[in-house]
Amino acid sequence: MQNSHLVPAVAAQPPGSPQAYDVIVIGAGHAGIEAALAAARLGCRTAVFTVSLDWVGNMPCNPAIGGSSKGHLVREIDALGGEMARAADENAIQCRMLNLGKGAAVHSPRAQIDRRAYAGSMKVRLEQQPNLELRQAEIVEIRKNVSRETIAAGYEVITRTGMCYTAQCVVLATGTFLCGKIHLGDTHYAGGPDGMPPAAGLSDSLRGLGVPLRRFKTGTPPRVHRGSIDLTQMEPQRGDPEAVTFAFEGGAPQQQAMCHLTYTTAETKRVIQENLHRSPLFSGQIEGVGPRYCPSIEDKIVRFPEKERHPVFLEPCGRDTAEMYLQGLSSSLPEDVQLAFLRTIPGLERCQVMRPAYAIEYDCVDPLALRPTLEFKALAGLYGAGQFNGSSGYEEAAAQGLVAGINAAHKVLGKPPLVLSRAESYIGTLIDDLVTKGCREPYRMMTARSEFRLLLRHDTADRRLRPVGYQLGLVAADCYARFRAKQATLEAERLRAQSVTLPPSAALNALLEAHGTAPLVSGIRLAELLRRPQIDYKMLQPFDPTRPELPEAWLREVETDLKYEGYIKRQEAQVREMKRLEALQLPPTLEYAQIPALRLEAREKLNATQPETIGQAARISGVNPADISVLLIYLHKQGS
């Protein structure tokens, strides 16, 4: 298990000792797992509570990890010393690199996962982690620990059976369980994902603490039996011949699964349209706000009436199960309607539904109440992570859990907090978007959300964040030494490419002309040739005798740096300007209403968000460049 040796084991407490911890994590989904492991590995006595030990690390929606921008997040989690990447690689059954027909900035790894094996491996990691206790209990109340007087007085958490536990810091990673409500046609009942019970009492306790909650909604598609599907009517979707792993160190996944693609039909559309009145999404039964970028099939039919068909991806849920996940068919329509429209889709005419689709409503927090550390502004020592913060997706949850766990541990240990910048990570972009801009619907990470995405390529995650993970103490010394050796090798190859000259030859010119680029009349530096968009390292291997034996992924990284050198330098200049603004701190007691030159909207948005820096203020929706100029002038006059 990665890095578990960094922290020595702690002896078990004797019987009758107080149930006191440094950090308590509520929830053992993807956010809770990373939060608990990080806190324990940093030396804090940690407990993670879950309503069921059988569903630790559950994947209640799609059986996949990664994808566009999400793959970037997983690689960043690995670079920092988190666990998701390794567990995904160990349990992957098909791997693909997405968006290869587009620029390098948006290339993203994605893997189909054996969902139950993944959950089992994550449970083992929690069980074997020193300093960490995994406990089955539903937390129904959180209250401030008034028996202590220090600033880190902490909290008491109460279980449904009345047990009380204390901790200096608490991380809320409740997923979609808070007051969870299932919708399936006219049927609706209290429930959590995958048939689990909801967390019924905790919401009222959080409101009592002043936590601003609101309702969001998400959904999941039906699962069908593989034996009832006619795969011959569908397009096969194979994995890549050479899998790119999420983890920067580790073995290649054992690929063996096949996915398939089919499409809805005009008849599918007709069946859904005739039954829209039975959808809780349109009848007003669902109050929560759903995700814009992952709509239900009935929502797609209504929003895109001009589309004659929608893609449906059939994805296996694991190696040893017949369950197939129907990506693209999320729904809350009644079961009879689901079966009717499913059987209008090629290959699904005789499908057997194993689990119907459903929608789930749940309570989550307005993330504007959080600091960039994911600590509540008004509740010291209380942190939020994952879907509790209004995001969607396993990867977004794990990224936030890692940061929340690190910062909870640092608060206990008296260390400076970790705040990742937009310029150095997608994790920083994700958290900054949530706590600065907020979200009116479940937030999904996308490459388009980053203004520095060429710098934040998935292959540079270790270059950007491995030193941070090492400084934190989450990356072991031997791992960091191998990283340093890799970077030295890559730099040597960049320098070699800048210095080596390839002479013209009939064979080389024939290659260049065959790929639509000009032949050589004189020698040319290897780097200049690689900057041509039609040319890559692999093509030039016969003409480059001094090239060292390096992994193909390393050569691609060097090649991308060379091809995009001009654009990269431009983004680096933008980063320097952003860092200048981020260095300008705003006083926490600043009264924006007392700055008359600020527009009324800007005052309201600044008061609501309470940005910590000029840079953060500039990213608030409703605050324009003229308002930032006013703030800069005001700070200058105040001598800040």
DSSP 160: T
> CA 606, CA 554: separation in Å to the nearest integer?
44
Residue 134: its H or E element? strand 132-136
- Which pLDDT belongs to residue 254? 75
> Helix 266-274 to helix 335-342 angle, to the nearest 10 degrees?
160
- Which pLDDT belongs to residue 14? 43
Same domain, 170 and 186: yes
User: pLDDT confidence of 18, banded at 50, 70, 90?
Assistant: low
> Is pLDDT above 50 for 4?
no
User: pLDDT confidence of 151, banded at 50, 70, 90?
Assistant: very low
Query: What CATH number does residue 514 fall under?
Result: 1.10.10.1800
Same domain, 271 and 412: no
Same domain, 193 and 88: yes
Q: Tokens 């780097």 correspond to what residue?
A: 527
| Chain centroid to CA 275 | 35
- Which pLDDT belongs to residue 400? 98
Tens digits of per-residue pLDDT, 394-432?
999 999 999 999 999 999 999 999 999 999 999 999 999
Range(s) of the domain holding residue 633:
583-638
Q: State mean pLDDT over 538-556.
A: 94
Same domain, 56 and 140: yes
- Which pLDDT belongs to residue 153? 62
Domain assignment present for 332: yes
- Which pLDDT belongs to residue 368? 95
Domain assignment present for 391: yes
Same domain, 86 and 166: yes
Same domain, 169 and 49: yes
Domain assignment present for 562: yes
- Which pLDDT belongs to residue 638? 79
Domain assignment present for 10: no
- Phi, psi for residue 402 in degrees, rounded to 5: -60, -45
Same domain, 387 and 249: no
Q: Are 222 and 338 in contact (CB under 8 A)?
A: yes
Task: Single out the residue in 330, 360, 390 at which a domain terminates.
Answer: 360
- Least confident range from 160-169, 515-524, 585-594: namely 585-594
> Is pLDDT above 60 for 158?
yes
Task: Single out the residue in 430, 451, 469 at which a domain terminates.
Answer: 469
> CA 314, CA 325: separation in Å to the nearest integer?
6
The DSSP annotation for 250-279 comes to: SPPP-----EEEEE--HHHHHHHHHTGGG-
Query: What CATH number does residue 417 fall under?
Result: 3.50.50.60
The DSSP annotation for 2-30 comes to: TTGGGS---PPPPTT---EEEEEEE--SH
> CA 273, CA 304: separation in Å to the nearest integer?
12
Query: What CATH number does residue 232 fall under?
Result: 2.40.30.260
- Phi, psi for residue 593 in degrees, rounded to 5: -65, -20
- Which pLDDT belongs to residue 85? 97
> Is pLDDT above 80 for 90?
yes
Q: Are 92 and 253 in contact (CB under 8 A)?
A: yes
Domain assignment present for 595: yes
- Which pLDDT belongs to residue 635? 83
> Is pLDDT above 90 for 590?
no
Where do the DSSP E strands lie in 317-468?
Answer: 323-327, 353-355, 358-365, 382-384
> Is pLDDT above 60 for 120?
yes
Same domain, 554 and 594: no
Q: Tokens 């889709």 correspond to what residue?
A: 345
> Is pLDDT above 80 for 548?
yes
Same domain, 267 and 148: no
Same domain, 289 and 345: yes
What is the model's pTM?
A: 0.93
- Which pLDDT belongs to residue 230? 97
Domain assignment present for 16: no
Residue 38: its H or E element? helix 30-41
Task: Single out the residue in 437, 469, 501 at which a domain terminates.
Answer: 469
Contacts with 432 (C-beta within 8 Å, 6 or more apart), sequence order: 372, 422, 616, 619
Domain assignment present for 575: no
User: pLDDT confidence of 148, banded at 50, 70, 90?
Assistant: low
Q: Tokens 């309702």 correspond to what residue?
A: 215
> Is pLDDT above 50 for 15?
no
Same domain, 342 and 278: yes
Same domain, 160 and 35: yes
Tens digits of per-residue pLDDT, 460-476?
999 999 999 999 999 99
- Which pLDDT belongs to residue 149? 52
> Is pLDDT above 80 for 12?
no
Determine what percent of the chain is predicted with pLDDT higher than 70.
96
Please classify residue 478 by burial: count the beta carbons closer than 10 Å to its beta carbon, then call 0-12 exposed, 13-18 middle and 19+ buried.
exposed
Tens digits of per-residue pLDDT, 209-266?
999 999 999 999 999 999 999 999 999 999 998 888 999 998 777 777 999 999 999 9
Q: Tokens 């209380």 correspond to what residue?
A: 382
User: pLDDT confidence of 582, banded at 50, 70, 90?
Assistant: confident
> CA 407, CA 34: separation in Å to the nearest integer?
12
Residue in 426, 424, 462, 418 with CA at minimum distance from that of residue 572? 424
Tens digits of per-residue pLDDT, 370-394?
999 999 999 999 999 999 999 999 9
> Is pLDDT above 90 for 5?
no
Q: State mean pLDDT over 6-24.
A: 59
- Which pLDDT belongs to residue 333? 96
Report CA Rg, the chain.
26
- Which pLDDT belongs to residue 17? 45
- Which pLDDT belongs to residue 7? 41
Q: State mean pLDDT over 493-519.
A: 96
Q: Where does residue 367 fall: left (phi above 0), alpha (psi -120 to 50 degrees), or beta otherwise?
A: alpha
Domain assignment present for 353: yes
> CA 31, CA 451: separation in Å to the nearest integer?
25
The domain tally of the chain equals 4
Tens digits of per-residue pLDDT, 267-311?
999 999 999 999 988 877 887 787 777 789 999 999 999 999 999
Averaged pLDDT score across all residues of the chain: 92
Query: What CATH number does residue 621 fall under?
Result: 1.10.150.570
